[in-house]
Amino acid sequence: MSKEFLDCLQHKYAFVAVGEFKPGKFAEAQRLYEKAVSTYKQGFKGAFLLQKPGTDEGIAIIMWEKIEDMDSNQSEIYQKILEEMALLFSKPPVTDFYEVNSEIAGYLQES
């Protein structure tokens, strides 16, 4: 089997956090999230931060090649950023890992 075919069979993993920030703190949390994500290296495959319009509720999705890659990216700088971010939550976020079973990339259609 070709390497490309085998790569297609490997599933990525998504770390998902669902939470709500204190009123007016989403922008600051976004800044810290982007700073934390910028520290990731090995196994990092992408990240999304979603905000429910008109609220301070959000969902963070961080894509990893393997679950263990997230642990290997836990630097001292990253930990300090998380400590700052923890103070912004109205209550602790709900977190979990998910296996990515389907990934469908979009494309631009020319009109």
What is the CB-side half-sphere exposure of residue 108 using CA atoms within 13 A? 2
Domain ranges (residues) in the chain: 11-99
Fold of the domain built from segment(s) 11-99: Alpha-Beta Plaits (3.30.70)
Secondary structure of the chain: what % helix, strand, coil (to 5)?
30, 30, 40
- Give the pLDDT of residue 82: 92
For residue 9, report the phi and psi dihedrals to the nearest 5 degrees: -80, -15
Q: Note down pLDDT in tens along the chain; length 111 residues.
A: 555 544 555 779 999 999 999 999 999 999 999 999 999 999 999 999 999 999 999 999 999 999 899 889 888 999 999 999 999 999 999 999 999 998 887 776 665
